[in-house]
Structure formats: structure tokens, C-alpha cells
Amino acid sequence: MKIININLGKDLKELRIIPISDVHIGDKLSNLKMLKEVLETIKNTPNVYTILNGDLCNTALKNSKSDVYADELSPMEQINRLIELLEPIKDKILVIGTGNHEDRITKDTSIDVIRLVAKQLGIEDRYADNWWYLFLRFGEKTQGRKIPMCYQITGYHGSGGGRKTGGKANRLEEMSQVVIADLYIMGHTHKPLSTKGAIYLPDYGNNSLNKKQMYYLMTNSFLEYGGYGEKLGFTPTDNTPTEAILDGTKRKIKVII
């Protein structure tokens, strides 16, 4: 698990995170217009940041499941396009991770293209080849000691989930069987979903229990309906970007899907 520490300073009162995953650049059905709108928002709004959570490129290879003849860009062109798109917002990227689509290249060649993208953008310290765990500090607490708020945000690209919503929600909530955090983020299923849970954490110093809230967010894809999804009879999904809003003065999270 890659641990990432970021402090965005005390002037930030509220932080908005718009996660981006499952863009599938190169696929004809990839909605790059919508992606560009999101990137513009991130670039032009000081308190909006992003987490890149895999399957940014489609990377259909000769031996992979996706149809290599159906992609409108070659894998190299996809990577170049991705770098071009991310360059203007590189300072707003909190995490850059891989998905099963980029992992195809790694599996076949050992070359991790997302790591190279991160290196090119100068943000290799924010790159994760697998599950990531972010300690994100900003703002200033109004109660107790005047220290920054610290949110623990964790995620990975995601896997499995099956066809039905229940299975996807199970995969999402199972993340807290791996590690405890305020906010869990997963993509992969292309189905926006959000749930909320709680867990009691032991406080050994006071022989007591603290109740911790946990927010779960499964993020949208940028892929329009058609292709293999339609062929297999999958239901269309909504592409509207999801968002998590974090308070910089007290522990308070809002999730929008």
C-alpha cells in the first residue's frame, strides 16, 4: 500500500475532490469533451483537486480482451494525449494510480506507463501502482489545538463487482476490511454509488471507544454506452462526475453522485 502525505496549507477552508477514472482514452466511446470540462473546472477553481484512479487509457493490446482494431488511438498516442490533458492540472493531482487496462502493458512488458506519465509530470511521489492511502492535511481545526484537519482517504482502481448494483456496493464496502479511513474511493464498475458506514475504534488511553464515520464513493466512467457493454447487455450508466467535499475546520464530508 502506497502511503502519500500532502499538506495543502491552512488557508484552504473547504476542499473539493473530483476523482477521475475509467476515461478509456483511445476508445471511440470515451467522452473526452466531458473530461475536458472536468479538467477545466479543476484548473480554474482553486479548491478543486483530483485523484486519478486508473483506466485513464484503454490500451487495447494484441492479446487483450479489448478489440485492438476498435481503438481510435494507438497506446502510444493515448499516453501522449493523457500527458497533454494532465499537464495543465498536474499540481492539482493528489494521487495517480493505475487500472486493469494500463496494467495490461505492465503484465506483458513490465513497463508501467502510468508511472512514466507521473514521472513526466513531475509527480512520481503521488503515483501508486496498487492500493494507495492518503493523509491529506489542510485548513485549521476550530476546536481543540489549532492544527490542520487531517483526512484519511484510501482507494484502488477496483475489481469485480458483478452485474448487479448489490455486488458492486459489496466490493466498495469491503474496502474497510482492508484499512480504516474517512473516505474510500473505487472505480472500475462504471457505476456511480455512494454509501456511508461507521466503526468503533478502541482508544487505549481512555479505555473507551470512538465512533468513526466512513464514506464510500464509487466513481463514474467517461465511457458512453455501446461497444462490448451493449453487446453483453449491460445497463447504461450515468457519466456525471462524482465529488467529495471536505471541511477544513471540522471532520465533515459530503459526497455527491
Closest approach, Cβ 101 to Mn ion, in A, equals: 6
Residue 99 sits in the site that holds Mn ion (CB under 5 A) = yes
Residue 235 and residue 225 in contact, taking contact as beta carbons nearer than 8 Å: no
Integer Cα distance of 193 and 171 in angstroms: 11
User: One symbol per residue from 174 to 203: x for binding Mn ion (CB under 5 A), - otherwise; what is it?
Assistant: --------------x---------------
Q: Does 64 bind Mn ion (CB under 5 A)?
A: no
Find out whether 100 and 54 touch, Cβ atoms under 8 Å. Answer: yes
Residue closer to Mn ion, measured from CB, 80 or 100: 100
How many other CB atoms sit within 10 Å of the CB of residue 52?
28
CB of 185 closer than 8 Å to CB of 153: yes
How near is the Cβ of 186 to Mn ion at its closest, in Å? 10
Query: Measured from the CB of residue 99, what is the shortest distance to Mn ion in angstroms?
Result: 5
Q: Does residue 55 touch Mn ion according to CB under 5 A?
A: yes
Burial label, 106 (beta-carbon count in 10 A; 0-12, 13-18, 19+): middle
97 binds Mn ion (CB under 5 A): no
Pairing of strands 243-247, 208-218: unpaired
Among candidate residues 63, 86, 84, 59, the one with its CA nearest the CA of residue 74: 59
Residue 106 in the binding site for Mn ion (CB under 5 A): no
Provide, rounded to whole angstroms, the least separation between the CB of residue 104 and Mn ion.
11
Closest approach, Cβ 228 to Mn ion, in A, equals 13
Site string for Mn ion, 202-221 (x = CB under 5 A): --------------------
Residues at the site binding Mn ion, with contacts judged by CB under 5 A: 55, 99-100, 188
